[in-house]
Chain A
Amino acid sequence: MKRPLAEQTLIVVTGKGGVGKTTIAAAAARRFAAMGARTLLTTQTPEPLEAAFDVRLQYQPQPIGERLWVSSLDAQHALKEYVERHSIVPVLYDAFLDSKALKQFTEAAPGFEELMCLGKLYDLVTSANYDRVVFDAPATGHAALMLRVPRVIGKAIRGGPLHRNALKLELMLGNDAQTAVITVALPEEMAVRETIDLRAALRREANIHPGPVVLNRVRPQLFTVAEMNALAALESTGVALARMVSTAKARYELSATQALHTAELQRRTLDPFIVPEVIRQRHDVPALLDAVGAALAPMLGERP
């Protein structure tokens, strides 16, 4: 049983490094916007999106299409905003905010930057400017840390603004009607395992109920066993056919292996939404995003 997204306002996209988080996030955001939702796509790794959309990402959301905005979620900026809102001694602000000491504090106090970024996400989600906020989140390890931070800090720090802030964020992330955490995997052994582990960790350590699983870059099976056997039995073929048969064999094996991983996810009731590998337009970003977006339609809750 797979559940498509409902009306969640915050969509967090995470998964192992390189599985296609940014691609899935960007494709989903474009699709939301096209369906009429005011959508913000935000990320901590601006470079790929800058290359894809040919814009320079800023902390302030900027429009890049109809109902579509992009921004970068920068911890230092988020921290400044936070300080401006909570501090008492206004005269010091500028010196404080630009001080190296502050930057160093955030480096020395792990979890703090993550908390600030989540706080900014909260502001964006509750701002009434957007119907959907899609967050291209960091890869598994860092994402797990980030999503756990509100809970850890909420426990470690008793009272004070940071404590209240952490509680509020924990509530947002733990509410699966408000937040959907999409885990992206590739149809490969390690990526599938990492997805399973990540989801378990999110439940256990962050009290988050993860949302849909996306299996990206799937190559659907093209051949049947009977066909493969028949091809193997062909005698003395020409060069072109021999090449095609050897390619078909490799493709058959690849798709068969991938099908095992899909089955493994299904067995664990993590039936994934499938996004096929885009081959021809792989380096043509708009075409790639269109193709991926179309494949995501069932997950995005679009009616056929």
Chain B
Amino acid sequence: MNDFDVAGLATSARIVLCCGSGGVGKTTTAAALGLLAARNGRRALVMTIDPARRLAQALGLTELGTEPGRVPGEFGTGELWAMMLDTKRTFDALIEKYAADEAVRDTIFANSYYQHLSSQLAGSREFMALEKVHELARDARFDLLVVDTPPSQHALDFLDAPTRLFELFEGSFVGALLQPYRVAGRIGFGLFRRSSDAVLRVLERLTGFQVLADLSDFFLAFSGMFDGFKARSREVTEMLHGDATRFLLIAAPDPASLRAADAFFVRLSADRLPIGGLIVNRVHDAPGLLDGASYQLSGADLEAVGRIPDARVDGRLLTERLVAAYRDHVCAAALDESAIRDTELARHDIGVRRVPHFNRDLHSLADVAAFADSLT
């Protein structure tokens, strides 16, 4: 394990994707990276996926738009921008773009399944995030795009989303769903009722007719756009493999979170996706951990604490608690280190940077700057 140059990454990459399990500081890291880039004269856009309050707050904004907005602050010639992803709007925009005509577009927009559930469709949030990255990567206003990936139950959802969606659309279920229409060549629920497909019959019985009719309508309207979607997805894959793209792994120094980072690493390597490095956030760094912690105070020190001229302070009790707090801290630091050392990542040539535990909440641009400084 070696250090890696985070500031260098922020000045050379075009796209950085921050990956990690929930609550490890992905958003703060993304903001810090954007800040580093801006300070180096680049125009950086940080994009986060809902709920984006964290980023807004970290950047000192009251709210974050769904279009890129400038973050106020002095960055020399650089610029810092931020935005959050609106899954539904991105989906709408894609449909605008690929729908064969207005009738198809309107059919989709009016479909109740699309209106209520499409944003919950497996992988659609991740798919839309990638779609937006693709669009913004071509936007001449920005030199760097930092993406805070969606919190997902499974770390790899982000990468698997397009495939999952395509499998769904090309799969036998949707095929069966569309069968009656293909035969009849027109839309009509009556035809659907005569579907000979056994699976659909059982499903209809289980779920009720209207559910399948809505789904069916939706996928039918959608099927014409499918080729456009696929072509787009191939471009996205290319973009992710590009020379100027880096995946940044982010973890907390505990085994669960580092296991998730390991899983990411294995998967990214298998797909030959470019890994920038691992950032371990909130690491306890105990002074004295490396050169031998001493829990023994010298006679002079003991005396100094004992002599504290304040009636509210009991020197002996205070000494005990000083030692206890220090012991805890050294122990936490040692456990953090052993967790980091036990990772799969540690056995590979992946750069690792540790960000200390700040012992407080980070909620201003100045805090993000402090975070960024610890990375340079």
Residues of chain A touching chain B, judged by Cβ–Cβ distance below 8 Å, are 16-19, 44-45, 48, 82-83, 86-89, 92, 95-96, 99-105, 107-112, 138-139, 141-142, 145, 152, 156-163, 186, 188-191, 193, 222-224, 226-227, 229-231, 234-235, 237-241, 243-248, 250-251, 253-254, 257, 279-280, 282-283
Contacts and interface: CB of A to CB of B under 8 A. Distances in A.
Interface stretch (B101-109, B126-134, B205-213, B239-247): B205-213
Contact of B116 (A156, A223, A244): A156
Given A244-B323, A254-B360, A99 B172 contact: yes
B256 A244 contact: no
Interface string B2-32: 0000000000000000000111100000000
Interface in B205-256: 205-208, 210-211, 215, 219, 252, 254-256
B325 A247 contact: yes
A140 to B, nearest CB: 9
B229 to A, nearest CB: 15
B211 A157 contact: yes
A160 B208 contact: yes
A86 B206 contact: yes
A138 B300 contact: no
B326 to A, nearest CB: 5
A222 B325 contact: yes
Nearest to A114: B120
Given A100-B171, A251-B329, A138 B153 contact: yes
B308 A246 contact: no
Contact of A18 (B21, B120, B286): B21
A162 B208 contact: yes
B173 A244 contact: no
Interface in B301-316: 301, 304-305, 308, 310, 312-313
26 contacts: A18-B252, A89-B198, A101-B171, A101-B173, A104-B173, A107-B121, A108-B121, A111-B117, A152-B116, A162-B206, A222-B324, A223-B321, A227-B318, A230-B318, A234-B308, A238-B297, A240-B294, A240-B297, A241-B297, A241-B298, A243-B293, A246-B287, A247-B287, A247-B326, A248-B326, A251-B329
Interface stretch (B63-71, B181-189, B331-339, B345-353): B331-339
B287 A224 contact: no
Given A223-B321, A257-B360, A110 B122 contact: yes
B117 A279 contact: no
A101 B286 contact: no
A264 to B, nearest CB: 11
Nearest to A87: B202
B127 to A, nearest CB: 13
A109 B151 contact: no
A239 B294 CA distance: 9
B23 A18 contact: yes
B361 interface: yes
B208 to A, nearest CB: 4
B331 A280 contact: yes
Contacts of A105: 173, 199, 203
Given A48-B256, A107-B164, A243 B326 contact: yes
Nearest to B356: A250
A18 to B, nearest CB: 4
Across the A-B interface, give the 7 residue pairs with the lowest CB-CB distance, nearest first.
A17-B22, A110-B120, A104-B173, A18-B23, A241-B301, A101-B173, A254-B359
A208 B172 CA distance: 38
B349 to A, nearest CB: 26
Contacts of B252: 18
A121 B300 CA distance: 64
B373 interface: no
B53 interface: yes
A157 B171 contact: no
Given A18-B256, A111-B117, A162 B207 contact: yes
A104 B321 contact: no
B207 A160 contact: yes
Contacts of A152: 116
A96 B153 contact: no
Contact of A222 (B120, B297, B313, B321): B321
B88 interface: no
A224 B298 contact: no
Contacts of B167: 104
Contacts of B202: 83, 87, 89, 92, 96
Contacts of B287: 243, 246-247
